[in-house]
Structure 1
């Protein structure tokens, strides 16, 4: 039971877990736990699956050295680990926790689609290496910006 006082100092007692399912204003509670657990589980699987594939993508398609790609992934991962704090503040002040989870799921889907587009549109990647002359042109700043923007979009939307 949660206790509080009204303007006259009288004690008001109400249950912490309200099981009134008939109320249209009822939000959250235990019925949302499966959704939150499933969302977090899928986010973790996707996040840990994306990192090893991203290093291969950066070294093979964007012609980055392994050390450069590893450092980029490390720094990017470290920076995005601070995002849940920002998401919590935004959710608490402006959006609400469940709506923020919904937005994160939608943004994650959009981010994955945009990242997929970098594999499908040839202009978003440098040209393939010429095996005979051992000539590889590196990615332009715009190409690297696009892939990191979409990648950050995917990962940041998962971390709320």
Structure 2
């Protein structure tokens, strides 16, 4: 801690090459890119026998209480997580799954990475355009900027 009570700034360019990966977080949304991200995470996890956690965020509208029970969203989320387990089993790996409700996915992903002590986040995304330009969405830029660990982004081609 510095005298003002702030935490010491982290070294931004500290190398993580060769650092053992013990825990991998894979945020999933139910998109085809999730499958690729999960496969990559499971393959990376095999040699060190790292833990892989599929993590789904139900984004709750601000007009509702954060703990509102939204049955249709919970049911959809459970299907997404079940599918994630199936994808992992196809590459012969067992994963953990988790579901949270939040206002925004990005901060929830980073919070989970911090609290869970993850070494790596593997995220999937689909190539998409917004106003004619390539668009990363809202969560990905937040995670890339704020994550306490390495982030691998897997972009698949646009679905026509």
TM interval, shorter chain, is under 0.3
Greater RCO structure (CA 8 Å; 6+ sep): 2
Question: TM-score by structure 2 length?
Answer: 0.26
Give the structure with the larger strand fraction.
Answer: 2
Question: TM-score by structure 1 length?
Answer: 0.26
Give the structure with the larger helix fraction.
Answer: 1
